[in-house]
Chains A and B, each alone.
Chain A
Amino acid sequence: MDSLQPNTITDSETSPDSNHKKRRKITHPQNPLNLMPWRSNADQQIYSLRLANALRRIPRPAAQIRDTADRVLAATAKGRTRWSRAILTRRKKLRIKKVKRAASGLRRAAIGRRKRLPAVQKKARVLGRLVPGCRKVSFPNLLEEATDYISALEMQVRAMAALAELLSGGAPAAHVLT
């Protein structure tokens, strides 16, 4: 029945405090990322409904849909993670500023960390550009943000695909969203 979801874990909208990422080195109060927080049915349904709602009110261009989808995704994250906060506050102007800041990130790399090989460092930087708002975070934070971001993206894909199926199929495909 859960053809789209590998696991059905229980609802994890529960502990916002333990996931609150501050500017410390690592924050691991109890469980850094509640196991697979984006895999639950409830999360996906909440996201689907919010997305559908949001899409009703906006014009059609695909870029806006992508943007809306991202923002609803970030909102569903409830500000627990850096990438979600970054999406919610991003505007075109800030993107220009981010380009400038990336240059200073290169200088940091020259100083070099003891345990990071150059290859790893380069890839970490690429990863930092892919995850919103994570260009200058520390390496462990980046890894944490990336894991959460990937789960969220997977959920986003599942939800949008289900939505598309629903809209194109016409007939209510009940199993697709549950």
Chain B
Amino acid sequence: MSSRRSRSRQSGGSSEISDAQITDLISKLQQLIPELRARRSDKVSAAKVLQETCNYIKNLHREVDDLSDRLSELLATTDSNSAQAAIIRSLLM
């Protein structure tokens, strides 16, 4: 990454953040999101990227919650020691 001083413009406020850097960060974010990965960045607006990011994070949160529910049920019925042993065994294989 090039030095930020050479790229940043002196904007009115105290921030020295350049548009190019923002665009770069947004495109990196875009690459992570499955919905937007196929599209090219010039067709996707920043607002859309942010929107999809929020949706994606909410989805991930929901998945984690669902998995937590499932794990809580499973842990209730499984002996914790044997679960631990099973995990270690599978990691060592």
Contact = CB atoms under 8 A, between A and B. Distances in A.
A127 to B, nearest CB: 5
Contacts of B90: 166, 172-174, 176-178
Contacts of B83: 52, 56, 166-167
A144 B50 contact: no
A153 B63 CA distance: 10
Q: Is the interface of B mostly helix, strand, loop or mixed?
A: helix
Q: How large is the interface on A (under 10, 10 to 19, 20 to 34, 35 or more residues)?
A: 35 or more
A49 B91 contact: yes
B71 A61 contact: no
Q: Is the interface of A mostly helix, strand, loop or mixed?
A: helix
Contacts of B28: 33, 143, 147
Interface in A58-73: 60-63, 65-66, 69-70
A3 B56 CA distance: 21
Contact of B1 (A28, A60, A143, A166): A28
B44 interface: no
Contacts of A45: 91
Contact of B72 (A30, A62, A124): A62
Interface in A40-54: 45, 48-49, 52-53
